[in-house]
Amino acid sequence: MLYLVRMDVNIPRDLPVEQADEIKTREKAYSQDLQRDGRWPHLWRVVGEYANYSVFDVASNEELHQVLLGLPLFPYMQIKVTPLAAHPSAINQNHP
């Protein structure tokens, strides 16, 4: 199942820089592992914002929920999930 996910990050300004940097380092490693295993095939930055649009390819709502809960930045995010389906007018129906 494919999902479009918008993640807006809001790290508190009073969080110590060292702690924020450590969380971001873990976030990068976690996200890259998910990209390598194919569950996070697309990751796009939103220009001018601390936000991204991502496409996840997972088996179920529950799997996506667990993946998102595992994000080290999860406590500092607002997340919006949109399930995706192939469009009947799309020329390329071979979506992942």
Q: What was the pLDDT predicted at 92?
A: 79
Tell me: the pLDDT tens digits for 67-81?
A: 999 999 999 999 999
Q: Which of 1, 5, 2 is nearest to 73 (CA)?
A: 5
Average pLDDT, the chain: 95
**pTM beyond 0.75, yes or no:** yes
Could you tell me the CA-to-CA distances from 54 to 12, 20, 43, 65, 67 in Å, in that order? 23, 22, 4, 14, 13
Cα angle 44, 49, 5 (rounded to 5 degrees) comes to 45
With H, G, I as helix, E, B as strand and everything else as coil, classify residue 52. Answer: strand
Q: Which domains does the chain have, with CATH numbers?
A: 2-84 (3.30.70.1060)
Q: pLDDT at residue 96 above 60?
A: no
